[in-house]
Amino acid sequence: MGEADLVIGEGRLVEAHPLRAAVLRELHARPFSPAHAPRRMLHAAYVLDAAGVQRDRAALIALCNARGLPAPAAGAKYHHVAFGGAELRWESHAEFCTYTWDLPSPGIPPGGLPFQPPAATLASPFGELPQPGPLLVAVDLHLVPDSAEDFFLDQVFERASLARADVNDGFAEIASDFKADPSGYVRILVRDRGLGPDAAGALVQRVLEIETYRTLALLGLPEAQRLAPAVARIEQRLATAATEMTATKGLSDNNRLLDELVALAAELEAGATASLFRFGASRAYMEIVRLRLATIREVAVPGFPTWQQFLDRRMAPAMRTCFTVEERQEKIAQKLANAADLLRTRVDVELEQQNRDLLTSMNERTRLQLRLQRTVEGLSVAAISYYVVSLVHHLAAGLHESGVDAAMLGIHLDVGLVTALAVPLSILGVWSVVRRIRSAHGDHD
């Protein structure tokens, strides 16, 4: 019986769709892990290429086998394993992977600060695995019971960038300035006000996803900034070419403009194709961030922006830049296609005009050739007739001089008369032969 086959009455089976099991597993692929305050979470995300995905999985399997721990199943996108007092949560995504180390924490001592000891002294577990790809996200999250003390926040976060919000209907508070600390980690403080382990684990995972996906979404900005000058140049040249189209005349000028528009379209298409995945991914990641923020139900802390407000103010302009470049690419591509179609139509019309003129010239030359041919045929009839009459004349003259005409024919040949009679007969005969030859070749008057 297959994993997703359905059992009905009397032990009979209903054959399942081959993807049913995979679809059912996807809903439970990344479950929340319970979290008990106080805890420290060191979270890292690495960008991977196709080869990096395989290396990453192989390294994790090797580490688990070396420790005698269960390794991730074939094709698994999520794995959770305990390493002594720490727990490792590994996730594999389309273009990145994440490692989250869940470490015990003493909490905040009286008069002390969170995030102690520094993350750099706790990050030794990361050294047990080879780096699978370039590091993009590094987060130091401290989950602590709420002490209702705010005075230490200015010592941990930069006040100008600090964003705070009550979440989960007031059962927790989140705070961060989204800046890297001296060790390179973005610090996030989560104050637990009675969430419970399951709710705390869900909140921690969502907060880590917000930071991960908002960073990934911003990868589209450098791509947009790289493409923007080329897009602006192509847009300007298109405007110039459209103006030139109103004044150009002649096939050569139109062909030159058409070649230039085709080259611009090819350059634009190359850039759009290269950025297609990046802009699409940024759009998808931004949507995930919005969904996670909506799920945690932020309520503003007086005097501070919420995470949603902070990201709208700092992140939204970057996203608009990406989407604006993408929209400009689409619109310019359409305008280039329209301009090229107009020029192509103009070139086709000019080619048809040239072809028509050429055919007219050819027809005129054919008519001239036909007239010349008929003139030559007339001369040929005259010439051939002349030779035929000459032969008749010589024949008659020879018979007359030899006296054969009187002796054998019993008549007296008049050479001049015979020659004169031969003229129309020769002309008529030769003309008739020429006409039959023309008729045989399909040349009719």
Same structural domain, 42 and 189: yes
Give which of 227, 228, 229, 260 is closest to 242, Cα–Cα. Answer: 260
Same structural domain, 190 and 87: yes
Same structural domain, 343 and 378: no
- Is 445 a domain residue? no
Tokens of 308: 């949603």
pLDDT at 165: 95
Q: Which of 331, 358, 385 is the last residue of a domain?
A: 358
**Which spans in 218-250 are helix H?**
220-245
- Find the radius of gyration of the CA atoms of the chain: 47
Give which of 225, 336, 212 is closest to 278, Cα–Cα. Answer: 225
Give which of 190, 77, 210, 31 is closest to 137, Cα–Cα. Answer: 210
Q: Which of 208, 243, 272 is the last residue of a domain?
A: 208
How many domains are contained in the chain?
A: 4
Same structural domain, 174 and 62: yes
- Is 213 a domain residue? no
Please state, in angstroms and rounded to a whole number, the distance separating the CA atoms of residues 276 and 272. 6
Same structural domain, 148 and 118: yes
- Is 364 a domain residue? no
DSSP string, 306-352: -HHHHHHHHTHHHHHHHHHHHHHHHHHHHHHHHHHHHHHHHHHHHHH
DSSP 196: -
Same structural domain, 283 and 430: no
Domain containing 331 equals 220-358
In this structure, the number of other CB atoms found within 10 A of the CB of residue 234 comes to: 22
Same structural domain, 22 and 37: no
- Is 126 a domain residue? yes
- Is 62 a domain residue? yes
- Is 363 a domain residue? no
Same structural domain, 17 and 152: no
DSSP string, 44-100: EEEE--HHHHHHHHHHHHHHHHHHT-PPPPTT-SEEEEEETTEEEEEEE-SSEEEEE
- Is 40 a domain residue? yes
Same structural domain, 10 and 21: yes
Predicted TM-score of the model (pTM): 0.75
- Is 76 a domain residue? yes
Encode 311-327: b = buried (16+ Cβ within 10 Å), e = exposed.
beeebeebbeebbebbe
Same structural domain, 399 and 428: yes
What is the Cβ-side half-sphere exposure of residue 25, based on CA atoms within 13 angstroms? 12
Q: Which of 155, 179, 208 is the last residue of a domain?
A: 208
SS3 of residue 184 by DSSP = coil
Cis status of the peptide bond prior to 197, with omega within 30 of 0: no
pLDDT at 2: 55
Same structural domain, 48 and 159: yes
Please state, in angstroms and rounded to a whole number, the distance separating the CA atoms of residues 140 and 123. 10
Same structural domain, 249 and 349: yes
Please state, in angstroms and rounded to a whole number, the distance separating the CA atoms of residues 129 and 123. 12
pLDDT tens track, the chain, 445 positions? 555 556 555 656 767 777 766 766 666 666 788 888 899 999 999 999 988 889 999 999 998 998 888 998 888 888 999 887 788 999 998 899 999 999 988 888 777 888 888 888 888 877 778 889 999 999 999 999 987 677 678 888 998 999 999 999 999 999 999 999 988 999 999 999 999 999 999 999 999 999 999 999 999 999 999 999 999 999 998 888 888 877 777 777 778 888 888 888 898 888 888 888 999 999 999 999 999 999 999 999 999 999 999 999 988 899 999 999 999 999 999 988 888 887 777 777 777 777 787 888 888 887 887 777 767 666 677 777 777 778 777 777 777 677 665 556 556 667 777 777 777 877 787 777 777 777 776 655 5
